[in-house]
Amino acid sequence: MSIEKEKMEQNILSCIFEDGRQCKITKTEQPDFILNYKGAMIGEVAVGIEITELYYDATSARLNNKKGYIRDLLEGQNIHKDDKSVLTVKEVKYFSQSLGGKPFNTKMLFLPNYTIDDYRNAFLRTLRKKHAKHANYNKSVNQSSLVIYDRENYSGKLKRQDFVRAFFNESVMEEIKISPFDEIYLITCFEGSNDEFYIQLKYCVLQNELYRLLEYIEKNSLHDKSKGMGLSLNDVFAEVLVKNGYVGIKKSECNQIDAVRCNRYAFNISEIDKKISVFDDFPKLTNAGVDFSLSENKKLFTTKSFRKFLKESKHRYVSFDVGFKVLRNWREG
């Protein structure tokens, strides 16, 4: 590995994790870092962290990383064959008032007009590439996470509270759901600020699933029906997660309240005011709780009514202030 790449990975890691703050960081391969935590409540815990960057495509990566490449493009030399049909250089006649209106010719580089779909596809390619390598990672870690540093910052066009609603679609949600990583962090910026935030995407997917369910229950007045069947909102959420293909769903107890656990996160929904409590098992995953089985529990949804729920809720996305400010804003050096 080059010194430049190793420094880049360390810079990205430092946006979220800091050596000596709560853990000891060791540089490794597959994954890129091991974070060693130690505490009275958790004992000794090792967490694996893999680092990568997001670019729209190879052309964008070259523009960002290859020194002098923009100059080469403008001069028409040393152009990568794949970029010749993507990037356009045009001569422009420039009239300057400061020069008495006398024109001069200059060259301008025209870049592709990337869309939100390009951004989603770039994210999916980045994620799938890392999924393919996950099987070879160190198996001794308690959990593993992927950190994706967004070099394109399409979300700079979005308000923070609109990120999930704008970025998520069914393909994105499904790929995040099936990811072998316990969490996927996306480091990016939002409209109106240079501050960087890290977004926990698996948490956002689960939060969106819960939002869809609670909205549907409210819209269709199903709360009284579920209570009449002896089902709590936690029970119904567990049912929906299992039916949607989530694995490892457990009924658990967190801080002496009932919760639904899905790998790293556990949720409690209050029957009184529908307020949500979230419990984050980091750095140590816990297997506490009882596996939720559809065959052994009452169910709110029949096969037919669940299809109706999926149809009516599949394009619904939650709006909330996603992410946390990074420890170190790399974009500002």
- The 10s digit of each residue's pLDDT in 236-290 is 999 999 999 999 999 999 999 999 999 999 999 999 999 999 999 999 998 889 9
The H or E element that residue 37 is part of is strand 33-39
Q: At what angle do helices 170-178 and 201-219 cross, to 10 degrees?
A: 120
Tokens of residue 282, six digits: 């980091």
pLDDT of residue 146: 98
* Alpha carbon distance 209, 313 (integer Å): 9
Separate counts of helices (H) and strands (E) for the chain = 10, 14
What proportion of the chain, given as a percentage, has pLDDT over 90? 86
260 phi, psi to nearest 5 deg = -105, 125
* Alpha carbon distance 309, 314 (integer Å): 8
Q: Which residues pair with 200 in a beta bridge?
A: 185
Task: Please list, in sequence order, all residues whose beta carbon lies within 8 angstroms of the beta carbon of residue 331, skipping any fewer than 6 positions away.
Answer: 189, 194, 196
pLDDT bin (cut points 50, 70, 90) of residue 21 is: confident
Tokens of residue 101, six digits: 């209106």
Q: What are 67-119's pLDDT values in tens digits?
A: 999 999 999 999 999 999 999 999 988 888 777 778 888 899 999 999 999 99
pLDDT of residue 1: 63
Question: Do residues 200 and 183 make contact, with C-beta atoms less than 8 angstroms apart?
Answer: yes
Asked if the model's pLDDT at residue 332 lies above 60, the reply is no
* Alpha carbon distance 52, 126 (integer Å): 8
Neighbouring CB atoms inside 10 A of 192's CB total 9
pLDDT of residue 221: 96
Dihedral of alpha carbons 259, 277, 45, 49, sign: positive
Average pLDDT of the segment spanning 314-328: 94
Q: What are 110-122's pLDDT values in tens digits?
A: 999 999 999 999 9
Q: Tell me the residue type at 253.
A: E
Tokens of residue 146, six digits: 């992927």
* Alpha carbon distance 47, 307 (integer Å): 38
What length does the chain have?
333
Question: Is the whole model's pTM more than 0.75, yes or no?
Answer: yes
Average pLDDT of the segment spanning 112-137: 96
Q: Which of 250, 271, 247, 246 is nearest to 259 (CA)?
A: 250
pLDDT of residue 13: 97
User: Could you tell me the residue ranges of all domains in the chain?
Assistant: 3-57+115-201+321-332, 66-110, 206-313
pLDDT of residue 270: 94
- Measured between alpha carbons, how far is residue 189 from residues 93, 161, 317 in Å? 35, 12, 20
169 phi, psi to nearest 5 deg = -140, -175
Q: Tell me the residue type at 277.
A: S
pLDDT of residue 232: 96
pLDDT bin (cut points 50, 70, 90) of residue 296 is: very high
* Alpha carbon distance 325, 189 (integer Å): 10
Instruction: Quote the Cα angle for 85-90-92, to 5°.
Output: 170
